[in-house]
Structure 1
Amino acid sequence: MTARLALPLVVALMLGPATAPSASAQAPAEFKPGEWTSLLNGKDLEGWIPKFTGSPMGENYRDTFRFEDGVLKVSYENWDEFKGEFGHLFFHQPFSKYRLRVEYRFVGEQCPKGAGWAFRNSGAMLYSQDPTTMRKDQEFPVSLEIQFLGGGETGERPTANVCSPGTVFTMGGKLITQHCTNSNSATFRGDQWVTVEVECHGFGTIKNYVNGELVMEYEKPQLDPNDPDAAKLIKDGRRDLAGGWIALQAESHPIEFRKVEVMPLED
């Protein structure tokens, strides 16, 4: 019920951080400032590295991440129930100053025994730690999560919120230490496609857009010394994050991605 990603260095990467090179040791792609480049090849997971809670890096647990009909899917058809096996699919190199554009939609029913908060819930992890430094049983990488949320039949539920596993940031001149902070976006119900863009300026300003509308602005992402996983990543007292890896989430609800693109920024 598992699949392994066919990447040049995946065998070495699965040995773990003590003996493996960093995930950025994969063959680098060419990215030009001011130009959008797709991170998806439209046919398979080449260039991406899966990591599921409880499984070694590189193992695509229960074939959850897959390409079908030209879109990247998070599928739970091979699952009987969800037992906390959170999944993250990492692009194989880090970024610092860039724009990320993702088009997503939620489909189908949530995997049985998925948490209530995980209904129509996914996201993109930005400023993430190198996946080779994650513990085997770690649930989420130290990162800034840009939440992708879908609404239920009633009630308001904005998307492009920010959650911060192992991190903190500044907004409106205040240090934000709570786990999740909502954006000002509308609520999107059903299986409609939604476009989220995030503009990242390293340790500077970060802006979240939904369907072209600015819904959130914040800055100065930092490692949280109170988080055990983040504390291990602090070197020479430096907590500021100027960049990191991008990962897409699998949290128990099926989701499709038809566009994942990056544009490096001139500055």
Structure 2
Amino acid sequence: MKRFANKVAIVTGGGSGIGLACARRLLDEGARVVISGRSQKRLTEALHGLPADRVLTVAADVSERPDCDAVVAAAVERFGRIDTLVNAAGMNLVGKIHETTDEDWEACIGSDLSGVFYMSRAAIPHLMQSKGAIINIGSVSSLGGGWSHAAYNAAKGGVANLTRSTACDMGRFGVRANTVAPGLTVTGMVDGIMEDEALLEKAWERIPLRRAGQPEEVAAAVAFLASDEAQWITGIVLPVDGGQTCTDGGPEWGK
């Protein structure tokens, strides 16, 4: 399918994990993609072999507003428009509330929540012209609390409600906003869980499909919500979690 032929997407956090899978999926379906990440070296390595004429990489820290403005400006300068924004940049922070330092809190909120706000605000004038879509990468933590992730849970809960507010504010202009909420997904952010048999056994008790997801499975949901097939969908939080959120409780990792 070439659902994104002649369209332009920005993907933050595109150097690895879910962000990279989203960038590759959109490229496979015909998009021109601007991919940002903190490390230009990592971006260059991750994107080796992708079509150079349809890819632009921009090193940026989404917790810094000027960097976000620069990513949007680079996209418009290179490709002339923006149709889709995928906010996939983020960090995981393990820590109970009384263990979370000011520095940890600010870093997590900056990366996971403020970056979504800064990128969305910068891109919206262009998305209004294209009647485009914003897809934010949240988490099952967008839908409920959990143990040992105070800052992360707060940030991802904020992403869900920021998405709803964006959908309300921008719907009249034809701009859609949705959140994809992955469960346990095989990325570098969860290496500690994937290597701990005891934690995995707890995870399988909460995940009916009894396995972790793959970044490409999350990217498939992102591509659907970004496509014209989802034109009547806005303001939702879509769990992509192997059924975790249909069980009677959230994750107990680290309880």
User: Under a length normalisation based on structure 1, what TM-score does the superposition of the two structures give?
Assistant: 0.30
User: Under a length normalisation based on structure 2, what TM-score does the superposition of the two structures give?
Assistant: 0.31
Q: Which has the higher contact order (CA 8 A, sep 6+)?
A: 1
The structure whose residues are more often helix, as a share, is: 2
